[in-house]
């Protein structure tokens, strides 16, 4: 579903992604991890065709740098790390914006479009919020609304940029379980940048670790999430516990004086 060879993104004279090779199968959940500034958001934006990138990039049947915005929006949906919310729109309006790539040009939404939105409102427990101004939501409420907007696009590929950073532990599981169920039922391909390494390994059965714009590890959670690698790449002290659902990464506090 996704194939990149030598994907490179420069910001000024600095390479932010320096030749990334990546393949993601149809229906796979790939977790992207790596320290701040490693290039995770840049990679997702390049896959969505939002920024210029060089190298060979295919997403679905398209080159994100050349395909039309409308075509890319029917193939790929991005849940951004920092959503921009226009003034004066309700939660329902914001989610409905996700239907735009499916509407006829200059057309209005059909009953089917409303059904898609209603279903997502229901599945994400957003019923009490639909009439609220989207600018008046808490960070976690907005994160769920923005996921609903991305899912309303009914994409083949869902790119998630820190999808649970503002969510409490219950909503983290609700949101990730919903995405998992859509992956299994509809064959959705998921690429999720995540800082929580335990969640990354529980949902992504494959993890790519970036550092300094390059892939430094690619494999199963058990292969990638070792205490030594996390110490090397993140400079973090952790203990990794082997558990049936995937490795659990526990941060260890430094010694007390
Ligand atoms: N528009 C820009 N101009 C210059 N540098 C940029 C720009 N956007 C990103 N960068 C730099 O590119 C590098 C990678 O940024 P990116 O946002 O992809 O990292 P990330 O892995 O998603 O980080 P984080 O975990 O902090 O969200 C960073 O050093 C960042 O400062």
Counting from 1 in the atom list of ligand 1, the atom nearest the Cα of 213 is 14
Do 214 and 18 meet the contact criterion of CB atoms below 8 Å apart? yes
pLDDT in tens, the chain (257 residues): 999 999 999 988 889 999 999 999 999 999 999 999 999 999 999 999 999 999 999 999 899 988 888 888 889 999 998 888 989 899 999 999 998 887 766 666 677 888 999 999 998 889 999 999 999 998 888 989 999 999 999 999 999 999 898 888 998 998 899 899 889 988 999 999 999 999 999 999 899 999 999 999 999 999 999 999 999 999 999 999 999 989 999 999 876 55
In this prediction, what percent of the chain has a pLDDT beyond 70? 96
| Residue with CA at minimum distance from ligand 1 atom 12 | 16
Q: Which of 20, 41, 47 to mutate to test the pocket of ligand 1 (most atoms within 8 A of CB)?
A: 41
pLDDT for 237 equals 94
CA angle 2, 49, 21 (to 5 degrees): 40
Q: Which of 58, 63, 62 is nearest to 24 (CA)?
A: 58
Counting from 1 in the atom list of ligand 1, the atom nearest the Cα of 81 is 27
| Residue with CA at minimum distance from ligand 1 atom 28 | 37
Give 44 Cα–ligand 1 centroid separation in angstroms.
Answer: 11
Give 28 Cα–ligand 1 centroid separation in angstroms.
Answer: 25
pTM of the model: 0.93
| Residue with CA at minimum distance from ligand 1 atom 6 | 11
Residue 158: enclosing H or E segment and its boundaries? strand 157-161
Q: Can you name the residues that pair with 149 across neighbouring β-strands?
A: none
Ligand 1 pocket residues where CB is under 6 Å: 11, 16, 34, 36-42
| Residue with CA at minimum distance from ligand 1 atom 2 | 11
What is the C-alpha to C-alpha distance for residues 42 and 21, in angstroms, rounded to an integer? 14
Strand 2-11, strand 14-24: pairing: antiparallel
Q: Residue 40, exposed/middle/buried by CB under 10 A (0-12, 13-18, 19+)? A: buried
Q: Which of 40, 45, 166 to mutate to test the pocket of ligand 1 (most atoms within 8 A of CB)?
A: 40
């Amino acid at each position: 579903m996704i194939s990149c060879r030598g994907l490179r993104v420069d910001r000024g004279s600095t390479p932010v992604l320096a030749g990334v090779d990546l393949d993601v199968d149809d229906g796979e959940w790939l977790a992207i991890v790596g320290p701040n500034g490693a290039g995770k958001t840049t990679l997702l934006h390049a896959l969505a065709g939002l920024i210029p990138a060089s190298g060979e990039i295919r997403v679905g049947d398209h080159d994100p740098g050349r395909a039309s915005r409308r075509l890319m929006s029917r193939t790929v949906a991005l849940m951004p790390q920092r959503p921009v919310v226009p003034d004066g729109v309700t939660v329902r309006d914001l989610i409905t914006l996700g239907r735009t790539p499916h509407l006829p040009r200059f057309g209005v939404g059909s009953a089917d479009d409303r059904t898609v939105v209603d279903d997502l409102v229901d599945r994400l427990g957003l019923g009490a919020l639909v009439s609220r101004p989207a600018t008046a939501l808490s960070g976690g409420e907005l994160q769920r609304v923005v996921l609903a907007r991305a899912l309303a696009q009914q994409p083949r590929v869902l790119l998630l940029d820190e999808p649970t950073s503002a969510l409490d532990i219950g909503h983290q599981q609700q949101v990730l379980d919903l995405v998992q169920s859509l992956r299994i039922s509809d064959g959705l391909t998921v690429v999720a940048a995540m800082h929580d390494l335990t969640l990354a390994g529980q949902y992504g059965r494959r993890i790519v670790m970036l550092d300094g714009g390059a892939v430094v590890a690619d494999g199963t959670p058990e292969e990638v999430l070792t205490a030594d690698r996390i110490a090397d790449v993140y400079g973090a002290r952790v203990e990794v516990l082997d558990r049936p659902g995937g490795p659990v990464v526990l941060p260890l506090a430094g010694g007390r004086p």
